[in-house]
Amino acid sequence: MTLKRTMCALLAASMLLTGAAISQNAASAETVSDEKSNAVVDAAANSGLMTNIQDGVILHCFDWKYSDIKAEIPNIAKAGFTAVQTSPAQRDDSFGVWYMLYQPQSFSIASNALGSKADLQALCDEAEKYGVKVVVDVVANHLRGEGYDVDDSLSRASHPDYYHGLGGSTNDGDRYSVTHNDIGMADLNSENTELQNIILNYTKELQGVGVDGIRWDAAKHIGLPSEGCEFWKTVTSQGLYHYGEILNTPGGNNPHGLMQEYANYITVTDNKYSSAVRDSVCGGYVPQTTGYWEDGGTPKNKLIYWAESHDTYSNDGQYGEATQYIDQNKIDRTWAIVASQSKATALYFSRPSQTSKESIKAGDKGSTHFTAPEVAEVNKFHNALQGEKEYYSKGSDAAAVCRQSGAVVVKMNGSGSVTVPNGGGLTAAGTYTDKVSGGTFTVTADTISGNVGESGIAVLYNGSDPDPITDVESDTDKKIETDTDKKPDPTGKVYIYFDNSSYKWSSVYAYVYVGETSKNAAWPGVKMELDSATGYYKLDVTALKDGQVIFSDGTDSADKRYPAEMLPGLKIGGSSKLFSAGNSWTDYEEKPEPVSDTDTAPDTATDTATDTATETETETETDTATDPDPVKTTVLLGDANQDKKVSLRDASLTLKASVGKAKLEGAAALAADVDGDGEFTADDALSIQRYDVGIASGDIGKNVEK
């Protein structure tokens, strides 16, 4: 953990210079202050997950033990969840029904029915390997009972100033009542600066064991700066991702204004829209288009949706909703609509094995239905098409969330044939295979039509899953993608090439497969041969040109394969591909000059994957280790992994290279050296990071000659 945190500290220290320019809770910038390593960014990207929580979706493992969540982390990642949420980690001596965790006795990580502090850290360490973030529920509005059965340092007897002391009950029509009266337990004095710092220190303790985000229980009952309360400014100051439970309304006579003020500090829940969608699905009619708070001006990228929550499932209808008796399939259809949307994140609830409030126990493992294709494929769609424009479309008995590269179609009743408008003609025309049922859909400029399987959910998009991208692409990025034309081999053959200069494996194998039926050989596949004409390992994959490939050294070693175990192979997509430095997977277009026909890696002093000039050594040649190449190379500045776009991946790779944990050469090295000082450093990584969150810096994101 020490090296990983040192790497993050370099970037975090640099970010202090620009802290005023970036929101404390900007989702795109959370890796800057996040103490998780940049390896998590790579793991998330390799898993197809998002590198920050707001851009992905969250699995709520309600009341699960930390050890049970840890055991499911590979499946959670495989199902496309960027984050997993636990119940509160605070002291609860009862080890009883679930709601006692929401009446805690401390502001510290304590052993309770979920496990110990060591168990929570073990969960965070395991999640980190797969790029999954960990969110912990924090109760900060109140403690247990009247404030006496708590840690001595928080007791009402010794610290009456920590409590408001008004008693009574809350009334949504009276904002002061909402923030100062009791909700069944004594209300804490959130305006007290000493108490604020105690809670801030608790968030730092969570961060110290590897927690990435916090869900704030009963957030609407804690005041805002405009109301004389600095709580949210204080507790979000250390970074992390934050979202708060604000049910129905924050109260008072200006709910939209209050919600927008909350959104300055935390993401907020929109249960009004979520409930409306679920009610529509259960009633068999098509939901309305947008959410209540979004319509009122709260940015969509500060909202969280769900199909159901622990409150709607576990409270026996006490708060007006009782979803425990709604069929899981109706919940999943609701999930497909809310979770396939861009910008807003969504929370998927793992249902407990019991259904009544008093029978649901803390520490009991819930349902693993989250692995079902109709759930997982929606998650993957959300991730793969993040940042694309969207259009919500309604048919007579179906809804579609249309994106440029695909759509999610939900039939309100049963299964079978559907036709919905192609909203705004947004989704590219063509033939799509439903990733849930395998059925075929046809998209024209006007309609999306096909047969929805028994789940009632169809997920459509073709080709390689896009990398995570920001909401706004630069014109330069678009031009690069437009101008890069595939150059098929004139013989009609399709090959894959492997540049072994980074891995230096003794042998290189390629396991190529299409679906679950066709493959080039049993694992580890076919041994690739060194091609003397290119210096790369090469394999003819014409027969499986639409398949996927996993590279390895031929052994079962987990660290000598790519992509990692449990992750899908790289998509070939019908044209020759090159796997090169920085785990770059690109169209193979030009062949470098020949190298000697020996079973060795290409010379690492020259990047044969990208340099167009060939160096010729002579007895009179000057020191090529220090002299620049006289031939100019055009690079996309900041594109360290050579994937033709600039993103958080590039910042992560540059930072790793700056501390010797990754190797960048040739065009990749030139692109990473954004300040032109001849080396790549934490400053270069910072500049790329700032570009990704919308703060332009020099020529980053532009084609330049170097």
Backbone angles phi, psi at 636, to 5 degrees: -85, 110
Segment of 19-23, 311-315, 529-533, 699-703 carrying the highest mean pLDDT: 311-315
Query: Does 24 reside within a domain?
Result: no
pTM, two decimals, is 0.65
Are residue 145 and residue 227 in the same domain, yes or no? yes
| Residue 541 CA: distances (Å) to CA of 496, 535, 537, 570, 572 | 7, 18, 13, 13, 9
How much is the pLDDT for 381?
Answer: 96
How much is the pLDDT for 387?
Answer: 87
- 77 is written with which tokens? 């990642």
How much is the pLDDT for 472?
Answer: 30
Task: Choose the final residue of a domain: 555, 572, 603.
Answer: 603
CATH number of the domain where residue 526 is located: 2.60.40.10
Are residue 649 and residue 705 in the same domain, yes or no? yes
Are residue 581 and residue 615 in the same domain, yes or no? no
CATH number of the domain where residue 448 is located: 2.60.40.1180
What is the mean pLDDT of the segment spanning 82-95? Answer: 97
For residue 691, name the pLDDT band (cuts at 50, 70, 90). Answer: confident
Query: Does 274 reside within a domain?
Result: yes
How much is the pLDDT for 669?
Answer: 87
369-382 pLDDT, tens digit per residue, is: 999 999 999 999 99
Q: Concatenated DSSP letters for 110-178?
A: --BTTB-HHHHHHHHHHHHHTT-EEEEEEE-SB-STTS-SS-GGG-TTT-GGGB----S---TT-HHHH
| Burial class of residue 397 in the structure, from the number of CB atoms within 10 Å of its CB (0-12 exposed, 13-18 middle, 19+ buried) | middle
- 296 is written with which tokens? 């009122």
Share of the chain above pLDDT 70, in %: 81
Q: Which residues of 273-307 are buried (b: 16+ CB within 10 A; e: fewer)?
A: bbbbbbebbbeeebbeeebbbbeeebeebbbbbbb
Are residue 172 and residue 203 in the same domain, yes or no? yes
Query: Does 493 reside within a domain?
Result: yes
Three-point CA angle 188, 194, 198, nearest 5°: 80
8 Å CB contact between 133 and 83: yes
Half-sphere exposure in the Cβ direction for 19 (13 Å, CA): 12
Are residue 144 and residue 234 in the same domain, yes or no? yes
Are residue 360 and residue 326 in the same domain, yes or no? yes
Three-point CA angle 436, 336, 463, nearest 5°: 50
What is the mean pLDDT of the segment spanning 9-26? Answer: 36
Please state the length of the chain: 706
| Burial class of residue 125 in the structure, from the number of CB atoms within 10 Å of its CB (0-12 exposed, 13-18 middle, 19+ buried) | middle
What is the mean pLDDT of the segment spanning 31-45? Answer: 49
8 Å CB contact between 400 and 408: yes
Query: Does 125 reside within a domain?
Result: yes
Total structural domains within the chain? 4
What is the mean pLDDT of the segment spanning 331-359? Answer: 97
Q: Which residues contact 78 (CB under 8 A, 6 or more apart)?
A: 47, 371, 376, 566, 567
Q: Which helix (H) or strand (E) holds 93?
A: none
For residue 291, name the pLDDT band (cuts at 50, 70, 90). Answer: confident
Q: Above 60 in pLDDT, residue 133?
A: yes
Query: Does 451 reside within a domain?
Result: yes
> Poorest-confidence range of 300-304, 412-416, 523-527, 671-675?
671-675
Q: Above 90 in pLDDT, residue 664?
A: no
Are residue 194 and residue 276 in the same domain, yes or no? yes
Q: Above 90 in pLDDT, residue 676?
A: no
What is the mean pLDDT of the segment spanning 394-415? Answer: 96
Are residue 363 and residue 411 in the same domain, yes or no? no
How much is the pLDDT for 349?
Answer: 98
Task: Choose the final residue of a domain: 553, 575, 603.
Answer: 603
552-588 pLDDT, tens digit per residue, is: 999 877 778 888 776 778 999 889 999 987 677 888 8
> What is the Cα 601 distance to its own chain's centre?
35
What is the mean pLDDT of the segment spanning 398-405? Answer: 96
Looking up tokens 């013989």 gives 491
- Beta strand 526-527 with 495-498 is unpaired
Q: Which residues contact 617 (CB under 8 A, 6 or more apart)?
A: 624
Are residue 209 and residue 326 in the same domain, yes or no? yes
For residue 490, name the pLDDT band (cuts at 50, 70, 90). Answer: low
Are residue 568 and residue 444 in the same domain, yes or no? no
Q: Count the neighbouring beta carbons within 10 Å of the beta carbon of residue 133.
A: 30
- Torsional class of 504: left (φ above 0), alpha (ψ -120 to 50), beta (otherwise): left
Angle of the 373-384 helix axis to the 328-339 helix axis, nearest 10: 10
What span, in angstroms and rounded, lies between the C-alpha atoms of 242 and 264? 11
Three-point CA angle 426, 380, 8, nearest 5°: 110
What span, in angstroms and rounded, lies between the C-alpha atoms of 122 and 447? 49
| Burial class of residue 456 in the structure, from the number of CB atoms within 10 Å of its CB (0-12 exposed, 13-18 middle, 19+ buried) | buried
Query: Does 96 reside within a domain?
Result: yes
Q: Count the neighbouring beta carbons within 10 Å of the beta carbon of residue 696.
A: 12
Query: Does 497 reside within a domain?
Result: yes
Sign of torsion, CA 12 679 559 537?
positive
Which domain does 430 fall in, by range?
Answer: 390-461
Are residue 351 and residue 213 in the same domain, yes or no? yes
Q: Above 80 in pLDDT, residue 51?
A: yes
For residue 649, name the pLDDT band (cuts at 50, 70, 90). Answer: confident
Task: Choose the final residue of a domain: 350, 384, 418.
Answer: 384
How much is the pLDDT for 452?
Answer: 97
- Torsional class of 687: left (φ above 0), alpha (ψ -120 to 50), beta (otherwise): alpha
Are residue 420 and residue 362 in the same domain, yes or no? no
- Torsional class of 146: left (φ above 0), alpha (ψ -120 to 50), beta (otherwise): alpha
> Poorest-confidence range of 81-90, 143-152, 519-528?
519-528
How much is the pLDDT for 693?
Answer: 60
For residue 539, name the pLDDT band (cuts at 50, 70, 90). Answer: very high
User: DSSP secondary-structure letter at 438?
Assistant: -
CATH number of the domain where residue 346 is located: 3.20.20.80
CATH number of the domain where residue 651 is located: 1.10.1330.10
How much is the pLDDT for 42?
Answer: 58
Query: Does 10 reside within a domain?
Result: no
For residue 207, name the pLDDT band (cuts at 50, 70, 90). Answer: very high
Give the residue, 387 or 56, on which the prediction is more confident: 56
